[in-house]
Amino acid sequence: MRGWHIRGWRVRGWHIRRWQTPFARVGVGLPLAVIAIVVAAFGLSHASDYALRVLSVAGIYALLALGYGFIFGQAGALSLAQGTFMGVGAYVSGILAVRYGIGFDAALPASVGLPVVLALLVAIPVLRLQTHYFALATLLIGQIILLVVTQWESVTGGANGIGGVPPLSLLGHVIEGRLPALLLVWALVAAGGLLAWQITRGRLGDAFAVLRTHPVVARAVGIDTGLLRLTAFLLSAAYAGLAGSLYVHAIGVLSPDILGFPVMVTCLTIAVVGSRLRVTGAIAGAVLIIELPEWARFLRDDYLLAFGCILLLVVVALPGGLIEAAEWLLGRVWVAPPVAPRPPLVPLPAAVSMCRSPASDSMLLEVSGLSVRFGGVHALDAVSIRVRAGEVLGLIGPNGSGKTTLVNAVTGIYPPGAGRVVLAGREIAGNTPHAIARLGVARTFQAAALVPEMSALDNVAVARGAADVGLGRALLVGLRDSGRRRARAEAMALLERMGAAQHAAAPAGTLPPGIARLVEIARALASAPRLLLLDEPAAGLNGTEQADLARRLRSIADGGVGLLVIEHNMQFLVPLADRMACLDYGKLIAAGTPAEVQADPRVIEAYLGAPAVPT
């Protein structure tokens, strides 16, 4: 079993660099936490009531920001409803406490549950909208709730709110005193932070990375992007509800201010300043931002003005946030010697299972009369092709003739206007891309779409068993994460199969295009497809590499997988393909053996054309 080493290559862009040192893996979190605990141990007993209250509020905002990290950080969607969810949780808990005497803990199912239900109702129509519409939708929901609450005086106390909210209570015991309340809040922050870390550190975190960087690729690999975004949104609402219910009991007063935009701004500032992708960032950011007006007295009245300036400065100058900047800084100072990773616990399988149905020579893909239109233009016009299991079909044609459109239509990115697409006897036209991917269709893209910050190995591993990745499994993942280790081991085998194993640890953004393409093919193989669609796999490879790739593709086909290969490079394609088809202007103009197609006069005219008449 081969080991693999982290090499010390120099790249531009600090966001790639941070993956290189073990310090960066540990992160800034652990040292910060140690410092915080030491400071707290000495300082808390002497702190004033007021200071303790501010620190409690900081903890509450840390919870809010932790939740926000799921939707804004992991899923990459700018939601402006986080403050609203917190407010809803506050109102539910406050009203239940004041009017019905239900304590903080007994009310939790409602104060956390109602924001989640609200998020669910809202998410279904709204999450799939593009950024500028999604932001507006979440903004409007916030406005609606704020107005409803201020109108509904009988229940919510209207614009004046409700006073006399009892303090936190646990199992019937009221928690008197600021210090115990503070400890409860921060215990919940610690629990929430650990949960967030647990959810995102494993393969679910990798799936999110693909989702926010290349959503099309995520679907092509079988990740259910809609479900993932929904999960992130619901988690953010749950954390916000908890934060809200803590807040109202800690402060003792329920007021519509909690539903106002300043809360959302504070949350956004914390997330941006503290690094939206880091658990440490949410916590450290919250402490920094909430404590700031206390340290700089003159800011007290104009703290929002300060937040605005800080937000602007950080967005422009430090886009990753403070924690990522700190990691980079420490990474530069502390460069570790190369480290050989521990070998995986699971022994490498002799041959990673590649195909699902060993039946050869059966009709795998049948496309009949497929048409795709964009406006008035026929990108594909009644195209019919067939691919058998174990066969390589080469698809050629001038640029713009519809080759990539055909692959996009087969993989579900474009709904076909007319015609049928049948995979192993099953009609798949009109299915969603991730459903088609899970039926055994895999593809590569014209521009290798790998996640630049993730290693080549992880890019492939994320596709291995993408259907299994979900919240439930993420929660159960042990410290050793055997699922990920197995996925990585299998990914390694796939990389070896494609001849790219020596680049496994390199961040994908640094790979030369030829190697990136090989990694992409390995990723496509990771989902054990029956049908593999390759878009210009040989581009950027020299002669030797091309011959090598052709050999590997041949062996994949021999294993029972059907291949459709789009290529311009005849030297590469002709020896490899069993049959060829040529598109021109969206129409199929020739099909048959490579020799037949190459000699077809229509093909020659389409590609080379008769020479232009010189004047």
- Closest approach of Cβ 500 to other proteins, in Å? 15
Residue numbers 40-99 binding other proteins by CB under 8 A: 78
Q: Which is nearer to other proteins, 318 or 435 (CB)?
A: 318
Q: Which is nearer to other proteins, 316 or 351 (CB)?
A: 316
Output the CA angle 510-525-451, nearest 5 degrees: 30
Which of 36, 40, 98, 143 binds other proteins (CB under 8 A)? It is: 143
Q: What is the DSSP letter of 71?
A: I
The structure tokens listed for 285 are: 């950011």
Q: Which is nearer to other proteins, 40 or 589 (CB)?
A: 589
Q: Which is nearer to other proteins, 144 or 335 (CB)?
A: 144
Which of 30, 37, 136, 476 binds other proteins (CB under 8 A)? It is: 136
Quote the CA–CA distance of 584 and 412 in Å, as a whole number. 22
Q: What is the DSSP letter of 160?
A: G
The structure tokens listed for 130 are: 């593009």
Q: Does 399 bind other proteins (CB under 8 A)?
A: yes
- Closest approach of Cβ 532 to other proteins, in Å? 20
- Full DSSP string of 378-442: EEEEEEEEEEETT-EEEEE--TTSSHHHHHHHHTTSS--SEEEEEETTEE-TT--HHHHHHTTEE
Write the Ramachandran bin of 539: left for phi over 0, alpha for psi from -120 to 50, otherwise beta.
Answer: beta
Q: Does 297 bind other proteins (CB under 8 A)?
A: no
Quote the CA–CA distance of 500 and 527 in Å, as a whole number. 18
- Closest approach of Cβ 560 to other proteins, in Å? 28
Q: Which is nearer to other proteins, 359 or 599 (CB)?
A: 599
Q: Does 334 bind other proteins (CB under 8 A)?
A: no
Q: What is the DSSP letter of 353?
A: -
Which of 368, 384, 432, 569 binds other proteins (CB under 8 A)? It is: 569
Q: Which of 126, 170, 132, 131 is nearest to 144 (CA)?
A: 126
- Closest approach of Cβ 58 to other proteins, in Å? 20
Q: Does 375 bind other proteins (CB under 8 A)?
A: yes
Q: Which residues does residue 367 pair with via DSSP β-bridges, in sequence order?
A: 385, 421
Q: Does 304 bind other proteins (CB under 8 A)?
A: yes
Q: Which is nearer to other proteins, 21 or 266 (CB)?
A: 266
- Closest approach of Cβ 401 to other proteins, in Å? 7
Burial status of residue 487 (CB atoms within 10 A of its CB: 0-12, 13-18, 19 or more): buried
Q: Which of 24, 29, 113, 117 is nearest to 66 (CA)?
A: 29
What's the 3-state SS for 38-65? HHHHHHHHHCCHHHHHHHHHHHHHHHHH
Which of 4, 186, 239, 307 binds other proteins (CB under 8 A)? It is: 307
Which of 356, 568, 589, 592 binds other proteins (CB under 8 A)? It is: 568
Distance between first and last Cα of the chain: 66
Of 105-113, 125-133, 522-530, 549-557, which segment contacts other proteins by CB under 8 A? 125-133
In degrees and rounded to multiples of 5, residue 463 shows phi and psi of -85, -10
Q: Does 592 bind other proteins (CB under 8 A)?
A: no
Hey, CA dihedral for 255, 261, 266, 272, is it positive or negative?
Answer: positive
Quote the CA–CA distance of 438 and 440 in Å, as a whole number. 5
Q: Which residues does residue 374 pair with via DSSP β-bridges, in sequence order?
A: 377
Residue numbers 144-203 binding other proteins by CB under 8 A: 144, 147-148, 150-151
Interface with other proteins (CB under 8 A), residue total 77
Q: Does 482 bind other proteins (CB under 8 A)?
A: no
Helix (H, G, I), strand (E, B) or coil at 526: helix
Q: Which is nearer to other proteins, 117 or 265 (CB)?
A: 265
Q: Does 129 bind other proteins (CB under 8 A)?
A: yes
Which of 32, 106, 135, 216 binds other proteins (CB under 8 A)? It is: 135
CB 75, CB 233: distance < 8 Å: yes
Q: Which is nearer to other proteins, 153 or 176 (CB)?
A: 153
Q: Does 347 bind other proteins (CB under 8 A)?
A: no
Residue numbers 455-474 binding other proteins by CB under 8 A: none
Of 219-227, 306-314, 458-466, 526-534, which segment contacts other proteins by CB under 8 A? 306-314
Which of 164, 177, 308, 349 binds other proteins (CB under 8 A)? It is: 308
- Closest approach of Cβ 305 to other proteins, in Å? 4
Q: Does 502 bind other proteins (CB under 8 A)?
A: no
Q: Which of 365, 364, 353, 271 is nearest to 320 (CA)?
A: 271
Q: Which is nearer to other proteins, 22 or 575 (CB)?
A: 575
Helix axes 131-151, 82-100, angle to 10 degrees: 20
Which of 140, 335, 467, 475 binds other proteins (CB under 8 A)? It is: 140
Residue numbers 225-284 binding other proteins by CB under 8 A: 261, 265, 268, 272
Q: Which is nearer to other proteins, 423 or 588 (CB)?
A: 588
Residue numbers 310-329 binding other proteins by CB under 8 A: 311-312, 315-316, 319
Q: Which is nearer to other proteins, 132 or 297 (CB)?
A: 132
Q: Which is nearer to other proteins, 218 or 487 (CB)?
A: 218
Q: Which is nearer to other proteins, 9 or 334 (CB)?
A: 9
Hey, CA dihedral for 129, 132, 138, 141, is it positive or negative?
Answer: negative
Which of 49, 176, 257, 302 binds other proteins (CB under 8 A)? It is: 302
Q: Does 510 bind other proteins (CB under 8 A)?
A: yes
Q: Does 401 bind other proteins (CB under 8 A)?
A: yes
Q: Does 574 bind other proteins (CB under 8 A)?
A: yes
For residue 98, CA distances in Å to 104, 154, 260 come to: 11, 13, 22
Which of 296, 571, 593, 596 binds other proteins (CB under 8 A)? It is: 571
Quote the CA–CA distance of 483 and 205 in Å, as a whole number. 13
Q: Which is nearer to other proteins, 482 or 593 (CB)?
A: 593
Q: Which is nearer to other proteins, 80 or 175 (CB)?
A: 80
Q: Does 109 bind other proteins (CB under 8 A)?
A: no
Which of 26, 39, 305, 359 binds other proteins (CB under 8 A)? It is: 305
The structure tokens listed for 381 are: 């016009």
Q: Which residues does residue 363 pair with via DSSP β-bridges, in sequence order?
A: 388
Q: Length of the chain, please?
A: 615
The structure tokens listed for 155 are: 């229940």
What's the 3-state SS for 261-322? HHHHHHHHHHHHHCCCCCHHHHHHHHHHHHHHHHHCHHHCCCHHHHHHHHHHHHHHHCCCCH
Q: Does 598 bind other proteins (CB under 8 A)?
A: yes
